[in-house]
């Protein structure tokens, strides 16, 4: 059975995660997993999902904070189904206020969970399937990147940075925004970010006559169809 619905499951209870996984996988769902809120936010911001199943009580970052952060970062399209043992009206209202689209109280029937996930995936608003800046194109489904018809081989970090730059083009993306996109609230250090930026320039700009990535010294980067080489 094939439905190709991509689901991120953010759940720290291994037994619950395994039960959901076993039920959904045989029904054709494509699944990714995170066992804490920080990992869940990172995966949600760097991958394309049709639905996120989000536990409320998580180590690192709770479900309410994760959902709010996700919406603040501009990921308003992906529906979120929150799982919780709390069943009061105030708890549910807090969940909806954070940006949750649906709510299920534990324990729940797996058949109902699957039905709700399927319904949420159909409610997702249409989005652009590609980003384009000048001769640079990123397919948002496959994350394949091409420039002037030539396929660029980018690692996951470089793809994440390029997506952020393309989404904001020709606007500025700050160092802090890049760190958040890659690591959430726990960046490993500026040297690691500089290394990823170097690799991104090497793939996107070096093989071509005109550079697209411009440095705003001390602030961040921007991506423009035409920029001055002295800005590099």
Task: Work out the angle at residue 196's Cα, subtended by the Cα atoms of residues 194 and 198, and round it to the nearest 5 degrees.
Answer: 70
d(Cα 166, Cα 9) in Å, to the nearest integer? 27
Asked if pLDDT for residue 141 goes beyond 70, the answer is yes
- Are the C-beta atoms of residues 37 and 66 closer than 8 Å to each other? yes
Task: Return the top range by mean pLDDT from 32-41, 86-95, 100-109.
Answer: 32-41
**Nearest alpha carbon to residue 143 among 135, 232, 153, 88:** 153
What proportion of the chain, given as a percentage, has pLDDT over 90? 51
d(Cα 120, Cα 171) in Å, to the nearest integer? 32
pTM of the model: 0.54
Q: Give the model's pLDDT for residue 157.
A: 92
Topology of domain 6-123 in CATH is Rossmann fold (3.40.50)
Q: Give the model's pLDDT for residue 197.
A: 94
Asked if pLDDT for residue 97 goes beyond 90, the answer is no
Please give the average per-residue pLDDT across 113-142, as a whole number: 81
Q: Which residues contact 9 (CB under 8 A, 6 or more apart)?
A: 17, 20, 21, 31, 32, 33, 34, 52, 53
Q: Give the model's pLDDT for residue 220.
A: 93
Is 13 or 86 the better-scoring residue by pLDDT? 13
d(Cα 22, Cα 26) in Å, to the nearest integer? 7
Mean pLDDT (the chain, rounded): 86
Using the structure block, give the residue that is written with the tokens 């652009």.
128
Q: Domain 130-231 maps to which CATH number in 3.40.605.10, 1.10.10.10, 3.60.21.10, 1.10.3720.10?
A: 1.10.10.10
Please give the average per-residue pLDDT across 144-163, as a whole number: 92
Delimit the domains of the chain by residue range.
Answer: 6-123, 130-231
């Amino acid at each position: 059975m094939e439905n190709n619905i991509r689901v991120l499951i953010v759940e720290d209870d291994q037994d619950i995660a395994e039960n959901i996984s076993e039920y959904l996988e045989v029904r054709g769902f494509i699944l990714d997993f995170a066992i804490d809120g920080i990992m869940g936010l990172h995966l949600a911001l760097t991958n394309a999902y049709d639905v996120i199943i989000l536990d409320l009580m998580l180590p690192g970052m709770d479900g309410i904070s994760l959902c709010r952060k996700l919406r603040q970062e501009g990921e308003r399209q992906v529906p979120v189904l929150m799982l919780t043992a709390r069943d009061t009206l105030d708890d549910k209202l807090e969940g909806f206020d954070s940006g949750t689209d649906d709510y299920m109280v534990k324990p729940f029937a797996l058949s109902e969970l699957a039905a709700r996930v399927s319904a949420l995936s159909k409610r997702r608003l249409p989005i652009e399937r590609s980003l384009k800046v000048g001769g640079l194109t990123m397919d948002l489904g496959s994350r394949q990147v091409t420039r002037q018809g030539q396929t660029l081989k980018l690692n996951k970090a470089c793809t994440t940075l390029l997506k952020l730059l393309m989404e904001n083009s020709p606007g500025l993306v700050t160092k802090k925004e890049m760190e958040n996109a890659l690591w959430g609230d726990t960046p490993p250090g500026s040297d690691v970010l500089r290394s990823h930026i170097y690799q991104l320039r090497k793939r996107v700009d070096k093989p071509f006559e005109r550079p697209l990535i411009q440095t705003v010294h001390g602030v961040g980067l921007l991506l423009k169809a035409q920029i001055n080489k002295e800005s590099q």
